[in-house]
Amino acid sequence: MTTDAFPVLRLSGPADWLQALPYLFGFPPRQSLVVLCLGGSNGKRLTFHLRVDLPRPADRGALVDHLAEVLGRQSFEDLLVVICRDEPGPPDDDDRALWALLSERVSISGRAIDALVVRAHRYWSLVCTDARCCPVQGSAVPTVEDSARIPAELVLRGCQAHESRDDVVAELAPLPGPARVLLAQRCQAADDAVFAEDAEPSGWSPAWVEAAVRRWADLLDGPVSTAPIDPDLGAALVVPLTHLTLRDCVAGVCLLRRERARPVLRELVRRLPEEWVPAPATILGLLEWADGDGLRAGIALDRALEADAAYSFARLLAQKLQAGIRLPDDMVRAVTAMATPTVTAPAVRRSRRARQGGRSDNRR
């Protein structure tokens, strides 16, 4: 499900934005600094959002300098800043010091529509001093019981609010059990067949690459199934992704079919042995980034790099994501253009020595 089928969700004030935050980030921000960038044709569409852990006083300057660099790459008209703390009570000196440093080093003078401090389900403004709208005792953050409109609309758009970030990370946690062992065995058998010394010359040929890409397209275009992926099919989908051109073609196929591809990639990442995780996890990270879900994109890329710290495609995407760079349109166009492969020569195979010694240089 995409948000394109729905009208614009209108958030008219601080209370609405605060109620939307758990769905924007996937969990309620706690001990966090949140920045929402608003822009677009009417100057009030959400164009970028980020969350970072609250810094220690000694680390404020470095964090704010990093935020200034990230925000300098964004296009926006207005900002909403939210400082989230667990402790009850009104804003304290730490809150005001962080806001003062942000105001000084980030060019937000006149662009911040508000700076809010949320503590124990109440919020205060560091900008507004009008007691009629911003009472000194703070205002209650609305709950679903107070108003269900915003949570309901965001859930319909496919947004989820987990209890914590750890719960979002758990979406890609390895699944234990015999199914994972069986898939590992099938992957190893398929890998051995492709790289055997007497393997057929057709292995990794242009026709072989095109057939492997079609296998992905046929799966994502076929009937929706809730059953686990068959181990033989899983191995046939994953093992060819060590071919770099084929991997990029599959990324294009998945970008064009994001809603169907996402659960398939998530299941594979959770069931695969670590050796085979980097390629599908990186493709999943690319899809999440393309949909604007920086949290899940980062988690997927972290999974890829935990499995192989030298996987260069994941490392490149993670660096750009961390720097707050928007996914370039030309990258999306280039990757989706590869959904129909035109391969003139096979890629370099991993040598048997490299395969027996661990991950090869050919795996990026």
Mean pLDDT of 118-143: 90
Average pLDDT over residues 94-117: 84
Region of poorest pLDDT, from 126-130, 210-214, 264-268? 126-130
% of the chain residues with pLDDT over 70:
86
pLDDT of residue 249: 94
Which tokens sit at 52? 């970072």
Please report, for residues 33, 82, 129, 271, 338, the alpha-carbon distance to residue 132 in angstroms, rounded to integers and kept in the order given.
26, 20, 9, 55, 58
| pLDDT value of position 62 | 93
Digit-coded pLDDT (tens) for 217-253: 999 999 988 888 999 999 999 999 998 889 999 999 9
Read off the pLDDT band of 148 (50, 70, 90). confident
The answer on pLDDT for 351 being more than 80 is no
Give the pLDDT of residue 8: 62
* Measured distance CA(168)–CA(171) in Å, rounded: 5
Question: Model confidence over 91-102: pLDDT tens digits?
Answer: 999 999 999 999
* pLDDT: which is higher, 270 or 180: 270
What residues are paired with 51 via a beta bridge?
34
Confidence band of 108 (pLDDT split at 50, 70, 90): low
With 90 as the cut, is the pLDDT of residue 306 above it?
Answer: yes
Cα distance between residue 89 and residue 95, in whole Å: 12
Q: How confident is the model at residue 350 (pLDDT cuts 50, 70, 90)?
A: very low
Predicted confidence (pLDDT) at residue 60 exceeds the cutoff of 90: yes
**Residue among 174, 179, 248 nearest 212 (CA):** 248
Q: What is the mean pLDDT of the chain?
A: 84
Cα 47-48-53 angle, rounded to 5 deg: 160
pLDDT at 6: 47
User: What is the pTM assigned to this prediction?
Assistant: 0.78
DSSP for 159-204 reads: ----SSHHHHHGGGSPPPSHHHHHHHHHHHHHHHHHH-TT--TTTT
**Higher confidence at residue 290 or residue 4?**
290
As a whole number of angstroms, the distance between CA 80 and CA 37 comes to 7
Highest mean pLDDT pick, 53-62, 110-119, 348-357: 53-62
pLDDT classification of 215: cutoffs 50, 70, 90: very high
Burial class (CB in 10 A: 0-12, 13-18, 19+), 332: middle
Ramachandran sector of residue 324 (left: φ over 0; alpha: ψ -120 to 50; beta: rest): left
